[in-house]
Copies of this chain bind each other. A is one copy, B any other.
Amino acid sequence: MLATIAVFDIVKDDLHRVETRLHDIPLRSEADFELVTEAIGHVLDAGGKRIRPALTLLTGRLYPSDPKKIISLAAAVEMLHTATLVHDDVVDGALLRRGSPTLNARWSPGATILTGDYMFARAADLAAQTGHVRVMQIFARSLMTIVSGELRQLFGDATFRQTREDYFKRIYAKTASMFELATEAAGVLIDATESEILDLRRFGHDLGIAFQIMDDVLDFSGDASQVGKPVGNDLRQGIVTLPVIDYLDAHPADKRVDDLLHHDYHDDDVVLSIVADVRASGAIDRAIDEARNYVRSSQAALLKLPDNEARQAMLAVADYVVARNY
């Protein structure tokens, strides 16, 4: 049911336990909710590589800890992540995610909103099962950060040329905050020292930033069959990512991107010509270099943690993030 990637091997069994927890929806027992539990199952199955819960599980192996609590936290993190995607898709009116129809494409907005709300509640319920109030605090704060980022994007001036600072703020809220949650909260559960918890948080943060940069790079270099969406999709949606910012820094007189952001209708040839020019400018390689720097910094954050199998795996996961096939 779940094909895990090699760097997660040491927590493979626990990842399957997380999967079971995720699919164990309390509503399941009531016949009235067949459609809803089916939909939640579908959304979860359309999910990605479970990198966030895997990070929680690996962090949980740094020191001896209660596997039940770690598994609850890992499931909470993935449920929260998936719930935010469900609402994102309503907000964006997205009909496809990773090549699969979104819940939003099949249901009314109302049903999709409420299903997302139920998943938020279940995520909080799973987090509460860790029995640690500090985990709940981190959890609530992360959700506030994620939603603030989305609100900023929605209310921000979309026609405005984004700076690198805007970009990093946005991907922190969108991605790195959840990676932080996955490792920092696990640090609390393994009774790490305050300084180790900070290191784990930095590991999650820097890895999350690297992960999102690589994801954004993929939008310029992947092909649709591989990533389930067409190349240049971010630009088409008015989202300016690091390669474009880098390209515009070198070509400030190129007004095509500004024009794109000012208009609802996009000529696809223009999008594809920008994509080609960004690729030709070397901006992709520079973005990948930047991601590599974040990966190295995330790995450095683990230096003071115990040198065991779990840490080795965490270092390998970080390498994997920048070694994905592009």
Chain A residues with a Cβ under 8 A of chain B: 26-27, 32-33, 35-36, 84, 87, 90-92, 108-111, 113-115, 117-118, 120-122, 124-125, 127-129, 131-133, 136-137, 139-141, 143-144, 147-148, 150-152, 154-156
Contact = CB atoms under 8 A, between A and B. Distances in A.
Contact of A122 (B84, B144, B154): B144
Nearest to A27: B148
A32 B128 contact: no
A255 to B, nearest CB: 26
Contacts of A131: 133
Contacts of A156: 32
Contact of A91 (B33, B114, B128, B148): B114
Contacts of A109: 90-91, 109
B33 A148 contact: yes
A140 B124 CA distance: 6
A115 B113 CA distance: 12
10 contacts: A33-B152, A111-B154, A111-B155, A118-B147, A121-B140, A121-B147, A125-B137, A125-B144, A128-B133, A133-B136
Contacts of A32: 152, 155-156
B139 A124 contact: yes
Contacts of A136: 124, 127-128, 133, 136
Given A118-B148, A136-B136, A147-B118, A155 B35 contact: yes
Contacts of A108: 154
Given A91-B110, A155-B111, A140 B118 contact: no
B151 A118 contact: yes
B120 A150 contact: no
Nearest to A130: B133
